Chains A and B, each alone.
Chain A
Amino acid sequence: MEIVEGETSCAGKKKHKKKDRNRSVFIFFCILPAILFLVIFLYYPIEETFRLSLTKTTGLSKEVFVGTDNYQRLFHDEEFFAGLKHVFSWAFWSIVIQLPLSFFIAFSLTYYSNRFTRPLQAVFFLPNVLPSAITAMLGKFVFAPNYGLIVSLGKVLGWKWLASIDFLGNPNLAFWAIFAIATWAYSGFYVIYLMSRIEQIPRELREAAELDGASMWSYARRIVLPELNYPLRILAVLCTVGSLKLFDLPNMMTTGGPGNATVTLGITLYRHGFINWNYGKAAAIGVVIFVLSLVFTILQFSLGRKKDEAI
């Protein structure tokens, strides 16, 4: 940039002034659309969220300032705590189940790249592109009682116990059914991301390892895993932030039920805001989601600092 500035300062004073104005006008009109969009649809609503979270209103009645009342009420809200609990156990299990599974697939696909495994990348990624509505539809298809895919399998195998399970109607199983379909849907992205990172590891490392007689497992553990330390941590943060925002699948498959068995923070927000029309409480939940995801995103950035891979 100094070059541009230096160049303009070389010119005569009058010319300089004119050029400078052109420059400012250009800058102004370039940034204007983005700023307009953000002010109207983002900054103003953000400000409103904070304000609403301190008021009590149903949309029809007048807004009354109630201070931190909405937040205090959240502490006694069973549904909110159920949501919080599910969000964090969702994050925990995604990290414990989805990431290792994805790492196994990604590593094996790159380590044994043959004509059977090469096309599989596109297969594993496929569920990831399906819109969540269709993923939910497939989830219900798989887990439906009486006629669902798993129940039908149970029938044909003669396993009565399997054929009689109602996955989505059972409070102990509904969470896991949704988690299973989410694993199916989301792991593909982790796979292709990890694959792209594994392919960046210098070949010499593997050749050296093979010369030393290292097996696949020791190569994976001693060389690939340490190299993937950073991407894996990033994915763990993504899992966590993603579960804070979790809404689509549980809302469509069980609407948070049975009872509060699959309620998430997003669903409590939706229920309070758009079913009970309790704007203040919904806004307070919005603030909680924001603060939590901010904490984890800052974590992502500070992890990123370590390498040049930060944005």
Chain B
Amino acid sequence: MRMRREQSAGRGRSSSRVHYGMSEIIITIVLVVLAVITIFPLVVPLLFAFKTQLEFAYHPWAIPEALRWNNFAEAWKAVRIDQGLLNTLIVCFGSILCTIPSAVLAGYVFARYRSRVTEILFYAILIGYFVPVQMVLVPLYRMEVSLKMNDTLYGLFLPMAAFGIPFWTLIYRSFFKSLPRELAEAASIDGAGHTKTFFRVMLPLAQPATVLAVLQVFMGAWNDYLLSLILLSDQNKFTMQLRVASFLNSYGTDRMPRYAAAVIISALPTLILYLVGHRWIIKGMLSGAIKE
């Protein structure tokens, strides 16, 4: 993109370039303004959070007089994101461990061992892809209660995995289909059995898909709200998102500085994650989410 622009600038270095520059400047300014608006709600809490209620009431937009951390201490006590974080991470890893192996294996078979039976099973799994979570909430809850699985973290990530498996099976199936057939042939001529071919040859080749799958499933579990809300009621089992949501219910916005501190604390883990891996996250979203 950039190279071409430089080329074309080199070619038509006269009147057209001036015209080009003018609208480019305007559009760039518009875009930068939009970006500032986008980032604004995430920056403003920093301005509010260090103030006392009184200071905030009189000078909400002034630079804080001092860096007072007690709002953060209070918000931390109210949100207790640390405990939520641990639960969330357990759910994330549980969800990854249940979703991805099941999806890789099934996707591989559906791509490489096609028969009437596997085709039927594939379409059976595909049905799961059309089902919105909302539809099965009531029976899922009742089932978990009767199995005493509600209020456990595995009771949360197991159904989560079930909702993810159809999609990732689909992705792995098309991935394995895209691999050249000769690879499997070569392996089987070398005397490798089905299992060996899969683990030694195919699974390592699937690494790019797996990296994206891990990332996407992690994000999905990290962001979940609805399933956790239905299935967890014990405060000790609350995930990060549920802690934030219950903070929303019980602490109003009337003490805005504390609220702003809570915003910062709650958003921080995700923001750090995004800063570190935004390239991967964007790539993963593009390859995965559109088929939702």
Contact = CB atoms under 8 A, between A and B. Distances in A.
Interface in A1-50: 1, 3-4, 7, 22-23, 26-27, 29-31, 33-35, 37-38, 40-46, 48-49
B142 A41 contact: no
A296 to B, nearest CB: 10
Contacts, number: 299
B194 A22 contact: yes
A225 interface: no
B41 interface: yes
A3 to B, nearest CB: 7
Assign chain A's interface to a size class: 35 or more
Interface in A94-110: 105, 108-110
Interface string A127-152: 11111111011101110111111001
The main secondary structure of chain B at its interface with chain A is: helix
A59 B38 contact: no
B10 interface: no
B185 to A, nearest CB: 7
Contact of A34 (B28, B34, B125): B125
B287 to A, nearest CB: 10
A207 interface: yes
Which 3 residue pairs are nearest across A and B when measured between Cβ atoms? A48-B139, A41-B162, A144-B253
7 contacts: A105-B31, A124-B38, A141-B260, A144-B256, A144-B259, A147-B57, A283-B139
Interface of A: 1, 3-4, 7, 22-23, 26-27, 29-31, 33-35, 37-38, 40-46, 48-49, 52, 59, 105, 108-114, 116-117, 120-134, 136-138, 140-142, 144-149, 152, 155-156, 184, 188-189, 192-193, 196, 199, 203, 207, 210, 216, 234, 238, 241, 244-245, 247-248, 252-253, 265-266, 269-270, 273-274, 279, 282-283, 286-287, 289-290, 293-294, 297, 311
Interface of B: 1-2, 4-5, 8, 23-24, 27-28, 30-32, 34-35, 38-39, 41-42, 44-45, 56-57, 60-61, 98, 101-103, 105-106, 108-109, 112-115, 118, 121, 124-125, 127-128, 130-143, 158-159, 161-163, 165-166, 169-170, 174, 181, 184-185, 188, 193-195, 198, 219, 222-226, 230, 240-242, 244-245, 247-248, 253-254, 256, 259-260, 262-263, 266-267, 270, 273-274, 278, 281-282, 285-286, 289-292
